[in-house]
Amino acid sequence: MTPEQSAAYINSQVACAMVEMYAMYAANALRADRGESIAYTEEAFMALHVKYCIGHNAVIGLFHP
């Protein structure tokens, strides 16, 4: 992958992670409004970078094969 392709891939993965994060946030807010326990914990939010391979080492690895 060229550096430009790597950057585009990272941006697309970040967008996917953000969409999922906002959906998780909305689900938690809805459940809180209903007086229910939250659906997603801090650990679930923190795991998104692993799921979408956008952690520091994964991103740096794309630029240094």
Tell me: pLDDT of 65 over 70: no
What's residue 64's pLDDT?
A: 85
Q: What is the pLDDT of residues 2-60, one digit of tens each?
A: 999 999 999 999 999 999 999 999 999 999 999 999 999 999 999 999 999 999 999 99
What's residue 54's pLDDT?
A: 96
What's residue 1's pLDDT?
A: 87
What's residue 7's pLDDT?
A: 95
CA distances in angstroms from 39 to 12, 27, 57, listed in the order given: 25, 7, 29
Q: What is the DSSP string of 22-55?
A: HHHHHHHHHHHHTTPPPS--HHHHHTHHHHTT-S
Q: How far apart are CA 13 and CA 8, in angstroms?
A: 9
